[in-house]
Structure 1
Amino acid sequence: MLFKVALFSALVSVVFGAALQQQVPIVSQTGDVSPDGSYEWSYQSGDGSAQQQSGQLKQIGDSAGEVVQGSASWTDPEGGQHQLTYVADENGYQPQSADIPVPPPIPQAILRALEWIAAHPQPQLKQPRY
């Protein structure tokens, strides 16, 4: 009898666990990789979220690097729309979105102090030799 109760409990937990997991279908998807190393991919899912990205190799000084650009969009659980675009290159990752917080401006007194410090560097102390 204990075996039947345990088996029934396991079966019920599997059924309810599967019902609680929301699977979002992929509505469209593309992807391509070229022989020169460039690529692009994109997808859109059934819940309206989408993402796309492309990249290519770029000569940066004496070495090669990769330049990547893309975007993502989604809807949060409260119904708010979000959009993010980005570039990643020799200057680093550069995202742009209305959702990214913007720091407040530097107060004028601190800005003047920083300018004064930059204009009047401290003399370098000589290190003692032993």
Structure 2
Amino acid sequence: MKLVVLACLAAVAVAAPQLQDVRPIVQVLRDERQDDGNGYFNYALEADNGIYMAAAGTPGSEGQTNIEGTYRLPDGVGGFQDIVFIANENGFQPQSSLLPTPHPLPDHVVELLRIAEEQRASGITFDETGRRLTR
């Protein structure tokens, strides 16, 4: 029994990770931050692996903070892609070629949307069951 316990302890000791030269995986090349305390701020962060982020914030009209900025991420094929964004009272709005786009609408849907817009412009309304309300 003692031999089994000793063998288990030896197996755990052998399987334990060996600490070698421990150093950060990523070095920070630039870390700049400025916060005026009144809703205005700027920051920029850049790492040696190509990752980058910069943003500027301003107070918004509805009590929120509006932020405009960009960040760069690896694209998985050896390059990097930038994502430009705005975050304000309308939410987070990123723009990048990496982001998926919706399929184009079929022609009949485009036509139905045109008709609906025409009806709205001329004052035509419908109730919750789809019946036209006359004025």
Superposition misfits of 4+ residues, deviation over 4 angstroms: none
**Cα distance in 1, alignment partners of residues 74 and 127 from structure 2:** 55
Shift of 1:85: 0.5
- Length-normalised TM-score, structure 2: 0.70
The match for 2:126 is 122
CA distance in 1, matches of 2:127, 2:37: 55
Q: Runs of 5+ in structure 1 lacking a partner? A: 126-130
Q: Secondary structure at the match of 1:32?
A: strand
More moved, 82-91 vs 115-124: 115-124
**Letter matched to residue 35 of structure 2:** V
What is the match of residue 43 of structure 1?
45
| Secondary structure, counterpart of 1:99 in structure 2 | coil
SS at match of 2:104: coil
Which residue, out of 14, 18, 22, partners 1:15? 18
- Tell me the number of residue pairs that the alignment of Structure 1 and Structure 2 aligns: 117
Name the CA distance, whole Å, in 1 between partners of 2:75 and 2:93.
23
| Structure 2 segments unaligned to the other structure (5+ residues) | 1-5, 130-135
Deviation at 1:114, TM superposition (A): 3.0
Q: For residue 105 of structure 1, what is the amino acid of its counterpart?
A: P
Shift of 1:8: 2.6
Label 1:6 to 1:56 Cα distance change in 2 as closer, same or farther (>3 A): same
**More deviation in 73-82 or 37-46?**
73-82
Identity of aligned residues (%): 19
